[in-house]
Structure 1
Amino acid sequence: MLKQPIFIVGHPRSGTSLVRSLIERSEHVWSIGREGKPIWERDSLHPGRRGWHSNALDASDATPEVAARLNADLLAAARKPGAEWSVADKLDFLDFLSAQGLRPHYYDVPLKALQERFPGDLPEGPPTTRDGGELDEITPFCFPSRGERPTEAELASGIRLVEKSIQSCFRIPFLRALYPDAKFVFVVRDPRTSIGSLMDAWLNPRMFFSYQVPVPLRIQGYSDVFPWGKEWWNLSLPPGWQDWVDLRLAEVCARNWLTHNRAVLDAARELAPTGDSVLVRYEDVQADPVSTMEAVAEAVDLPFSDAWGRRDLPVVMTQTTPDPDKWLRHASEIRPVLPLVRELAEEAGYVGL
């Protein structure tokens, strides 16, 4: 069974993968090692089965049948966090997958290393099922955990699972109904770097495709740039997304930041009196991972690990080295949309935008 699962919640490109990787250094946790979309959105929980409204779920969606299925799937996927994959390990594994006919260029490996191992033209466009439909998992595809499965005895006494999915911002009532003893780690990030990173994700020709939506997209700077830009939505599907389909890409990304973080800050405020949550800023994780993780460990009831006394940070879900100034590549597009997010940014501690 699951006990006190730890849900890491934040908007796409906010640093949730980094925080998850740091928590996974604890010997007391288990992980599914990747985004949970294939588990959470099976069958009736997929937005396509819910009128394409959004990723939002509430407590009424946590039926006994749904709870039993999700619990079984999460336990089946649980592994001990294994040693982090090196680039060489990843490439060797992709050699094996490539021999089976899969395209390695959709996996999270530095592009230069991929091109050196797999020369030739790079594929472009969303990876799809055989009939051209949406895959369960969002690219960049992750590498499976190499850790051990829990034993029957460990399952019987209960395991602590760390889970991170970008759609969780809109599912806090649902998750709390499923797991009343859950702990939450909320992550926020400067809107300028977030919007820039979101734009990079939308403009990536191989990654971050999530939903083949039935609503025509006319997003300037995306739909008029790529042939798939008229039907493929990227990353999570927030409430209100259908009102954004005629906007410029920078404004779509700004409204993404605003909608996700409004949900995050509201949930963090609601849960603060319970002691079941902690709110962290990505920039604090980068600047002082030791102190930040000490606060996280206390909030989620984990012993502070020696592994968190290290200042080194894993690099996750990125094709290039993290750089707080990367957003400046899109500065002329981002600066005009900052007034949309300024009030909430100040609430989150980001002033002077």
Structure 2
Amino acid sequence: MIKSPIIIVGCARSGTTLLYNILSEVDSLWSIGVESKTIVERFHHPSLKNWESGELSAEDLTVESREYMLGAFESEAAPGVYWRRVNRFRARMNRSAWYAAIKRRGRSRATGSGVSSGLPGGGLALFRAYAQVRYGLARRLSSFRKPIRLLDKSPEHCLRLPFMAALFPDASMIFVIRDGRANVHSLMEGWRQPHLFAGYDTPVPVSSPGQSRGRWAFTLIPGWQDLVDRPLEEICAHQWVISNEAILNYTATAQARPVLIVRYEELIADSDAVLERIARFLDLVPRDIPAYGRPLPEINVVSQPGAEKWRREADAMARAMPILRPMMERLGYDPDDWP
């Protein structure tokens, strides 16, 4: 049984993975170690709705898919103490030169890079497989199964909050927001990494200049078919706007679950203050969060961190600003803060 789950939502590359990894180490929280996209799309893949988009409503949830997803989450989840050990091991690996070289090669388009890029993911798959045996099997065999508090996240949830609320009617949600320019720049970097981020092999190939993968990356937003040949910054700008707009629209409904907004920039600049807010929201104490009072981990780094990396592509950002400006203002960012 899953009780009082926590769902982290936000546009892809907004900082949701960082927060997920931080909270996954809380002893009282259980998580599956990866985004839940595969679990959700087992019965609800966009192809089953004629590739309209990745959007799902409460009405899309069926008895069969509910039973499958709840069972999958329970059988694949492990407690924070387990993921804390896994994260420590992976952090040590990331500091080793040979492992870093493997990951860099995996992110390239060179021949053979697909094999090497599978090694880091394969390592995580082994940890997840062990967790299913160690915790999932034990729970299934136990005569007394104590409820678990699940922690879940996936950027696709931006378009699926009514669906996720129907699946978890007692959920709490954390909404991560990020400056549109920085977020779009990070999305663009991800689009350019053929082996690093998952996507969709859409029936209409992506021909946008600035990418070479030919398939859609990140969240499959409504109207994607009209964007496949548009400049990359335009695609990413629409992904950012539509993802955030969908969450804001959900939070304005009477049926919305409790939502806490977390600004990525504040999480980086003053992590302890933000973690204190999160702890209060989740009925935890700050010391329940192992990252409290410690440096934050590096997660899914494509290029060296920097609050204003987007300025490297200022021309592209300027072209995207007419799309970004209204949502940036709505989220409290200053679109006129230029160099």
Same fold (TM over 0.5): yes
The alpha-carbon deviation at position 309 of structure 1 amounts to 3.0
Equivalent residue number for residue 249 of structure 2 = 266
Equivalent residue number for residue 135 of structure 2 = 149
* TM norm structure 2: 0.84
- Identify which of 142, 153, 158 aligns with 1:164: 153
Equivalent residue number for residue 101 of structure 1 = none
Equivalent residue number for residue 259 of structure 2 = 277
Equivalent residue number for residue 276 of structure 2 = 294
- 1:54 alignment partner AA: S
Equivalent residue number for residue 317 of structure 2 = 334
- 1:39 equivalent in alignment to 2:33: no
- 1:183 alignment partner AA: S
- 1:343 equivalent in alignment to 2:326: yes
**Using the alignment, how far apart are the partners of 1:304 and 1:88 within structure 2?**
23
Q: Which ranges in structure 2 are unaligned for 5 or more consecutive residues?
A: none
Could you say which structure has the higher helix fraction? 2
Is the contact made by 2:250 and 2:256 (CA closer than 8 Å) also made in structure 1?
A: no
Is the contact made by 1:20 and 1:164 (CA closer than 8 Å) also made in structure 2?
A: yes
The alpha-carbon deviation at position 339 of structure 1 amounts to 1.9
**Using the alignment, how far apart are the partners of 2:36 and 2:298 within structure 1?**
20
**Using the alignment, how far apart are the partners of 2:152 and 2:171 within structure 1?**
11
The alpha-carbon deviation at position 233 of structure 1 amounts to 0.8
Q: Secondary structure at the match of 1:186?
A: strand
**Using the alignment, how far apart are the partners of 1:209 and 1:294 within structure 2?**
32
CA RMSD of aligned residues (A): 3.2
Relative to structure 1, the CA distance from residue 119 to residue 335 in structure 2 (aligned partners, 3 Å threshold; closer, same or farther) is: closer
Q: Secondary structure at the match of 1:246?
A: coil
The alpha-carbon deviation at position 167 of structure 1 amounts to 0.4
- 1:239 equivalent in alignment to 2:222: yes
Q: Secondary structure at the match of 2:205?
A: coil
- 1:124 equivalent in alignment to 2:112: no
Q: Secondary structure at the match of 2:286?
A: coil
**Using the alignment, how far apart are the partners of 1:122 and 1:287 within structure 2?**
28
Relative to structure 1, the CA distance from residue 47 to residue 21 in structure 2 (aligned partners, 3 Å threshold; closer, same or farther) is: same
Relative to structure 1, the CA distance from residue 117 to residue 170 in structure 2 (aligned partners, 3 Å threshold; closer, same or farther) is: closer
Q: Secondary structure at the match of 1:55?
A: coil
Q: Secondary structure at the match of 1:157?
A: coil
Relative to structure 1, the CA distance from residue 13 to residue 39 in structure 2 (aligned partners, 3 Å threshold; closer, same or farther) is: same
The alpha-carbon deviation at position 323 of structure 1 amounts to 1.1
Relative to structure 1, the CA distance from residue 37 to residue 350 in structure 2 (aligned partners, 3 Å threshold; closer, same or farther) is: same
- 2:293 alignment partner AA: R
Q: Summarize deviations over 1:109-136 as a string: whole Å, max 9, x none.
A: 5896446469989762899x9xxxxxxx
Total equivalences in the alignment: 320
Moved more, 117-126 or 320-329: 117-126
**Using the alignment, how far apart are the partners of 1:8 and 1:121 within structure 2?**
28
Equivalent residue number for residue 28 of structure 1 = 28
Moved more, 306-315 or 5-14: 306-315
Moved more, 61-70 or 327-336: 327-336
Equivalent residue number for residue 6 of structure 1 = 6
Is the contact made by 2:58 and 2:166 (CA closer than 8 Å) also made in structure 1?
A: yes
Is the contact made by 1:47 and 1:54 (CA closer than 8 Å) also made in structure 2?
A: yes
- Identify which of 192, 204, 221 aligns with 2:210: 221
**Using the alignment, how far apart are the partners of 1:126 and 1:302 within structure 2?**
48
Equivalent residue number for residue 301 of structure 2 = 318
- 1:290 alignment partner AA: D
